[in-house]
Amino acid sequence: MQAAICRARWLLALSCLLGASGVQVSDVAKRLHADALVFDAHLHAVNRYFYLGGDMGRSVPDGQFDLPRARRGGVDAMFLSLYISEKYYAQRYETKQALRLIDFAIEQIRRNGGFVEQARNATDVERIAKSGKIAAVLDIEGGFDLDGDLRVLRDLYRLGVRVVQLPAHNWSNRFADSCCAEKKWHGLTEHGREVVREMNRLGIVINISHASDETMEQAIDVSSDPVVATHHGLRSVNDIPRNIRRNISVFRLPMTSGFRLTTGWRWWTGPLNWLGRTPSRWARTSTGALPYHAG
Ligand SMILES: [Zn+2]
């Protein structure tokens, strides 16, 4: 199934692109979309509802997401991002905030059990998608809270977190350099490599979005499992550090069976804002990169 999803990726992206630009979508493209496992790999809904209130299960007239729209749009699975922003780091409230967001996300999933179910492994994702619900995988963005602490990492795993970003969003933490801050370590520290190995052992997906080039390369080298970049533009299109280099995107990541997903947000695409709207994501398929671990 994974190979089929990979083959479908670009066709599906194209169908989304055409649909978003008002061009009529063919029956073939619609069928392809319906048959594919459609996986949104970076979704910030939890933060919206945490700060503004409300419920993911209710239709809203604004924003890009609510569960009824996602279901109508054929989304099968999602990395439900728990974004702990930089404003929590200085006072060291980031672990507390991570725990609050995890609690909030689990409560939202429980309240909307008719639409969505928490997935802890790839088998769960396939089972939940087949049942007609959306599989939600908890995903930490802003890993400063880890501080390289493997005990905290294991606690996050026990709470159901299955995707963790290596750097602390746009900050470098104590074990990994970010794309967009002073480079402290030339990639990963020795302890950062231990963090990668522990994530491999537990079955947590390693997300290299927001990482520096060296962190990306070293994570790919150290990890025994596929590494993912859940939301990126291409540096060859817009030359900013946040975007991914071509050799990593086109050669290194596919060699690990990992994947890189593209966003159409103007900041990433620069002058080539193909969809003419801000923001809009369009490439949303994924591989079955979640390890087949039980529990
Ligand atoms: Zn991000």
User: Are 86 and 155 in a shared domain?
Assistant: yes
Cα-to-centroid distance, 154 and ligand 1 (Å): 23
Main-chain dihedrals φ then ψ at residue 218, nearest 5 degrees:
-70, -35
Cα-to-centroid distance, 27 and ligand 1 (Å): 34
Domain assignment present for residue 290? The answer is no
Cα-to-centroid distance, 26 and ligand 1 (Å): 32
Cα-to-centroid distance, 243 and ligand 1 (Å): 11
Beta bridge partners of 244: 234
Cα-to-centroid distance, 264 and ligand 1 (Å): 13
**Residues 214 and 183 sit within 8 Å (Cβ to Cβ):** yes
pLDDT in tens, 111-142: 999 999 999 999 999 999 999 999 999 999 98
pLDDT in tens, 178-199: 998 899 999 999 999 999 999 9
Cα-to-centroid distance, 85 and ligand 1 (Å): 10
User: Are 2 and 128 in a shared domain?
Assistant: no
Domain assignment present for residue 286? The answer is no
Give the integer Cα–Cα distance in Å for 152 and 140: 13
Domain assignment present for residue 280? The answer is no
Query: Helix or strand or coil: residue 209?
Result: coil
- pLDDT category of residue 48 using cuts at 50, 70 and 90: very high
Q: Whole domain around residue 155: which residue ranges?
A: 39-269
Handedness of CA 223, 225, 46, 248 (dihedral sign): positive
Alpha helix stretches (DSSP H) within the chain: 2-20, 27-35, 45-52, 67-72, 94-111, 122-130, 150-158, 190-202, 213-222, 246, 253-255, 266-269
Burial (CB < 10 A; 0-12, 13-18, 19+), residue 31, is exposed
User: Are 146 and 63 in a shared domain?
Assistant: yes
pLDDT in tens, 214-242: 999 999 999 999 888 888 888 888 888 88
Main-chain dihedrals φ then ψ at residue 227, nearest 5 degrees:
-110, 145
User: Are 13 and 124 in a shared domain?
Assistant: no
Cα-to-centroid distance, 136 and ligand 1 (Å): 18
pTM for the model stands at 0.80
